[in-house]
Amino acid sequence: MTSLDDLIEKARDLRTDGHSPGQIADELSLSLETVTWLLTQDTNPTSESPRDVHIDWTQVSSNAILLEQSAMMLKHLFSIQSKGQIPPTTIIGIAISGIPLATCMATAMQSRLAIFHPAKHDHERTTGSLSGNFAGVRGETCLIVDDVITSGKTLHDVITYLRTRGATPIGCCVLFDKRGIRTIDDIDIYSLYTISRIDERS
């Protein structure tokens, strides 16, 4: 079985378990377009595959110690590169994979913790939402945390959400940046790793 076959099987298994395509995209660190392509390979196997890179970081994400150390690396990266920046009062974890990273960072930075649910997790919603069980954001200085930037749309949505609710976003921390971008909506991106796909020229 090829790695592509593995991905198709994982995507189908997650769909069978009730995950939405957006949740599957988060679980597999892939774009929504790629997940849609994976899920339709039985009905349209000849369609051209999207240009994407799969990142499997389960060796880290499934180990609490390694996960905490990764969060501390993000915290230190932000501290080093954001000199002069106002420190965050609230850390926002993007569901699902950004939550444990944000929790560790909020503990270390003595900040409040908020959780953002992206719209892509619920096909009935057009905008994401903040969990009512965690910190609010009005008047807060916010640092956004996620595992992967795939298209940048989720981070754009969070930044827009924060600004329309009287919060000040000051940065986005991610482990992996698949777009190689430095800012989204004038907010700096702090990534530990930039992932690039290099294709042969045709």
pLDDT 10s digits, 126-146: 789 999 999 999 999 999 999
Do 91 and 112 touch, CB atoms closer than 8 A? yes
CA atoms of 94 and 100, how far apart (whole Å): 9
pTM of the model: 0.78
107 CB neighbour count, 10 Å cutoff = 14
What would the mean pLDDT of 194-198 be, rounded to a whole number? 76
Q: What is the pLDDT of residue 125?
A: 65
CA distance 61 to 40: 28
> Does the CA dihedral 14-16-19-22 come out positive or negative?
positive
Residue 155 CA to residue 110 CA, distance in Å, equals 23
Q: Where are the domains of the chain?
A: 3-39, 58-194
| Class of the CATH domain delimited by 58-194 | alpha beta
